[in-house]
Amino acid sequence: MSQHTTVCPALFIAAPASGQGKTTLTAGLARHLRGQGKRVAVFKTGPDYLDPQVLAAAAGEPVEPLDLWMAGEAYCGQRLFEAASRADIILVEGAMGLYDGQPSSADFAVRFGLPVALIFDCQGMAQTVGALAAGLAGARAALTVTGLLANNVGSQRHAALIAEALPGDIRFLGHVSRDQALTLPHRHLGLVSPDEPGAALDPALSHAAQMIATTTLMDAARDVVFQAYPAAVPGRWLAGRRIGIARDTAFSFVYEANERLLEAMGAELVAFSPLADASLPPVDALWLPGGYPELHGPALAANTAMREALRAFHADDKPILAECGGMLYLQDHLTELDGTTHAMMGLISGHGIMRDRGGCQGMQTAPLPEGDIRGHAHHRTRTEDGPTPIAHGRRARHPAPGEPIVRDRRLTATYLHLFFGANPPAVAQLFGATSI
């Protein structure tokens, strides 16, 4: 092997649809391998904040989401190469169904030569699993499906019927029985974060590891050659600047890749808590990421000292980026599902309202004055009476206008979660860089 390639066992875990148990069983496999003394590098395809936190709790190290559209092939490939250089095994969990989305989980697996293990929730079917698995495996010649794990199986006979129906080139990797103890707690945007009080995810992860130990899921892994993708080094455009980041249980949707990029551009990152702190740290710019402000309305509203600090910061014409939950926090009011309304910070007009269904998700480009930045939307609220937007997000594959983007002096607010690596110079300017 040259210095630009490395070999590491790897496995891509996919399913025919969401809700099949991918995250639980991927986490269980990571925990099981970690218990064997192996260093496991885990990734999640697609934009996601919550599943990676659960996977990280199982793997014992950070888990990064990788998305071909948002981050690009070179970024994703380099992250895999770096992981292969230090890990004993790489696990990648797919998003949604195997062929859902453009690019899809299948696109990702094919591009990087990853063998695929299918996870099927088999409740209500037996031999049909074989036909569905054959269809998924055969729909794309370049895809390598090496095995299938049957989840939510009712009996040994049920498992035997599934195994007998699989095509000869798809190995039966065992089964996981129906078990409520394997269910991870959810809420409206996905899994509950392991850091939340009362989350109690660790027993479920340990139980999943025990169940995985009875299967041969790892037999689906193969050695993969990973290629290096040398990346351009960003300029030190933020050298000497301090950026305050809201980080607590209300604001936790942060890609570590975004933090790494800000630091690579020279910024010093300073965390603060809108829930607990009475003042802002001495910083030059603010980043208010997404999260769950709707779960903390009373506490956020009661922190009037922080409200005054934020208003003074904005009045000083310093840069502020507010994404999704951060934008809701800066609006006038936020209403919960039961109709309870809380006063928020009032830096921009708008009334955020929780809804019990619907919402918005999908890939969009933010056409900012500083330049286009790719990102995504994922929320269960709507905003009324907001200011006139300066632009709308461009959807990746639909002509309808995307999320509104508003700006008040140096405050930029949007529902979009931005991937900073998509345009580092534009991001640097958002946070106050004057020389690019």
The number of residues making up the chain comes to 436
C-alpha atoms less than 13 angstroms from C-alpha of 93 in its C-beta half-sphere? 35
- Sequence-ordered strand ranges (E) for 178-256: 186-187, 190-191, 222-227, 242-246
- Sequence-ordered strand ranges (E) for 25-131: 40-45, 64-66, 89-93, 116-121
Q: Which of 206, 233, 188, 271 lies closest to 54, judged by CA?
A: 206
Measured at the CA of 393, the angle between CA 388 and CA 396, to 5 degrees, comes to 160
Q: Which of 284, 397, 406 lies closest to 347, judged by CA?
A: 406
- Tokens 């603010």, residue? 286
User: Does the active-site annotation cover 324?
Assistant: yes
8, 76, 122, 324: the active-site residue:
324
Beta bridge partners of 269: 243
Residue 205 contacts residue 166 (beta carbons within 8 Å): no
C-alpha atoms less than 13 angstroms from C-alpha of 211 in its C-beta half-sphere? 26
Instruction: For residue 97, give the amino acid letter.
Output: G
C-alpha atoms less than 13 angstroms from C-alpha of 274 in its C-beta half-sphere? 33
Residues belonging to the active site:
324
